[in-house]
Chain A
Amino acid sequence: MAANTVLNYLPRKSMVHELTGTTKLAFFLLFTFASMITYDTRVLIGLMVISFAAFRVSHIKLREVRFMLVFMLVFLILNDVFIYLFNPEQGVEIYGTRHVIATLFWRYTITWEQLFYTFNISLKYFVALPIAILFISATNPSEFAASLNKIGVSYRVGYSVSIALRYIPDIQRDYHSISQAQQARGVELGKKEKLLARMKNSVNILLPLILSSLARIDTISNAMELRGFGKKSKRTWYVQRPFSRNDYLVLAFGVLILVLSLVITFWDGNRFYNPFV
């Protein structure tokens, strides 16, 4: 159950939660693919409406995912600032026109094109965020492996993912106790040490962690071999649920979204919607 906290699973009674993990995974992939390809403002706004609506339906409250929101906002602002610092003319290059609003200094001018480009990038984040949060918060981690297998990934890989989710809390606890023990012995990782010494010191923490993890790999793989893992080419999953009507609807909707957004985006032969010409 500790894996729940890693990916912040929030159990709830809602339409989104009742969908099978497979549907959510497939929809998430289709949706992120659509939002990744398109830079068309109209499509992005359409996607954002869908994404916010889905979030509404899920009964997950904003404050429960505040941490992710804040992190994403900081990340977004930093990214926008860096894009501007490195290339204040990126928007001009993309849209092919130049409407200057103000000149700051040197090459740093503010143009409508750059503002519009930044707006589009930010929009992309807001499109992807609610769906990503939903995917993580509304899917039971135990269902991940089954879902991966269902959409065509080999069950061995699915099993690797579920082992990873299962052991993240254990390894985190191991890391914590090893690093406390080593710090008690005077191994310094903070700013007091020079970077190179810090790196060398980190080996003192990583080595016990690696050795215990290798021992763990042996134990688990022996246990799995004893139980005949990998003998058959297929396997069943305890948590897998059959598809219901809503699952088919959502999947069809996901495919429709992807196709529509691709068609609208590339209708004029360009990824970008250009209001300047």
Chain B
Amino acid sequence: MKNSSIKTVVAVGIGAALFFVLGRFVAIPSGIPNTNISLQYAILGMLAAMYGPVAGGLIGLIGHTLIDLSWGGSPWWSWVIASTFVGIIVGLFAKKLALNEGDFGGKKIALFAIVNVIANVIAWIVIAPSLDVLIYAEPVAKVFSQGVFAAIANSLTAVIVGALLVAAYSKTIAKKGSLDKE
């Protein structure tokens, strides 16, 4: 138990660094303000599914806050909270997905995809825009179109890139019970 808590601390640190590098230097702007086609949500989904909800949430929180700070503004808290939420929700299914067992078959791929889509849709279409309206009093139509766009873009990256990553990763580890007694 002790060991896994240290691992979580480190995974959060490295995960947030990955999230930061991908979000800050690799983001492809989409033309809508503060909305990018961003690879970091694939990484967030994968690491959350490996290390659980606490790690997932913190990776989203720290990574996103650092990105906003490095652009020179104060963090856009409504979107930071949404990123945190994605990490937590995907992380809740870590035990079910059990990625370290090495078999990432049809059922698990489907579960991974569904969880990621649900988490992203709630985060970007419900949480982020509502907080935008509440905190920043921006027009409802604007924040919801931003939200819908972010939800689609982030779900797509999380599902396509994320699932491909997990599939490739699970091939590199030995399957549970792959040894036979002779």
A-facing mask of B122-162, CB < 8 A → 1, else 0? 00000000000001111111100100000000001100110
Say whether chain B's binding surface is mostly helix, strand, loop, or mixed. Answer: helix
Judging by beta carbons under 8 Å apart, are B9 and A159 in contact? yes
**B58: CB under 8 A from chain A?**
yes
Which B residues are CB-close (under 8 A) to A168?
Answer: 17, 20-21, 66
Q: Which residues of A contact B138 (CB under 8 A)?
A: 83, 90, 121
Which chain A residue shows the least CB distance to B55?
A: A160
B18 touches A209 (CB 8 A): yes
Instruction: Tell me which residues across on chain B come within 8 A of A272, comparing CB atoms.
Output: 137
Q: Kindly state the separation between the CA atoms of A210 and B167 in the bound complex, as whole angstroms.
A: 13
Q: How many residues of B contact A (CB 8 A)?
A: 58
B10 in the interface, Cβ–Cβ < 8 Å?
yes
Min CB–CB distance A35 → chain B (angstroms): 8
Among A41-49, A127-135, A244-252, the stretch in contact with B: A127-135
Residues of A within 8 A of B157 (CB): 199
In the complex the two chains form, is A224's CB within 8 Å of B69's CB? no
Does A69 contact B165, Cβ atoms closer than 8 Å?
A: no
B46 near A163 (CB under 8 angstroms)?
no
Q: What's the Cα separation between A209 and B168 when bound, in Å?
A: 12
Cβ distance B6 to chain A, nearest Cβ, rounded Å = 5
Task: Flag if B72 contacts A69 (CB, 8 Å).
Answer: yes
Q: Is the CB of B6 within 8 A of A221?
A: yes
A221 touches B62 (CB 8 A): no
Q: Are A211 and B172 in contact (CB under 8 A)?
A: yes
Which of A52-60, A72-80, A97-105 forms contacts with chain B?
A72-80
Residue pair B142, A36 in contact (C-beta under 8 Å): no
Tell me whether A6 is interfacial, beta carbon within 8 Å: yes
Q: Provide the residues of chain B in CB contact with A202, threshold 8 Å.
A: 39, 161
Q: B14, B22, B42, B160 — which one has the most chain A CB atoms within 10 A of its CB?
A: B14
Docked-complex contact B142 and A163, CB < 8 angstroms = no
Contact across chains for A79 and B33 when beta carbons are under 8 A apart: yes
CB distance from B157 to the nearest CB of A (A): 7
> Is the Cβ of A164 less than 8 Å from the Cβ of B6?
no
CB atoms of B70 and A164 under 8 A apart: no
Q: Is B43 an interface residue (CB 8 A)?
A: yes
> Which residues 132-190 of A sit at the B interface, judged by CB distance below 8 A?
132-133, 135-136, 156-157, 159-168, 170-172, 175
B39: A residues at CB distance < 8 A: 202, 206
Interface residues of B in 18-47 (CB under 8 A from A): 18, 20-22, 25-26, 32-34, 39, 42-43, 46
CA distance A26 to B137 in the complex (A): 25
* Known A156-B5, A160-B62; contact A129-B161, beta-carbon cutoff 8 A: no
Mark the stretch among A15-23, A212-220, A257-265 that contacts chain B.
A212-220
Would you call B164 an interface residue if the criterion is a C-beta within 8 Å of the partner chain's C-beta atoms?
A: yes
Chain A min CB distance to B30 (Å) = 11
Chain B residues with Cβ under 8 A from A65's Cβ? 72
> Are the CB atoms of A131 and B73 closer together than 8 Å?
no
Neighbouring B residues of A69 by C-beta, 8 Å:
72
Least CB distance from B48 to A in Å reads: 13
Which residues of chain B are near A175, meaning CB under 8 Å?
21-22, 25-26
Q: Nearest Cβ in chain B — how far from A226, in angstroms? A: 10
In the assembled complex, the Cα of A207 lies from the Cα of B164 at a distance in Å of: 9
Which B residues lie at the A interface, using CB under 8 A? 2-3, 5-18, 20-22, 25-26, 32-34, 39, 42-43, 46, 58, 62-63, 66, 69-75, 77, 135-142, 145, 156-157, 160-161, 164-165, 168-169, 172
Residue pairs across A and B with Cβ atoms less than 8 A apart, 20 shown, are A7-B66, A7-B70, A36-B136, A67-B72, A71-B72, A75-B33, A78-B33, A82-B33, A82-B142, A83-B139, A87-B139, A160-B9, A160-B10, A168-B21, A170-B17, A203-B164, A207-B168, A210-B43, A229-B9, A230-B5
The 8 closest A-B pairs by CB, nearest first: A163-B13, A68-B72, A87-B139, A86-B142, A160-B12, A164-B16, A132-B74, A221-B10
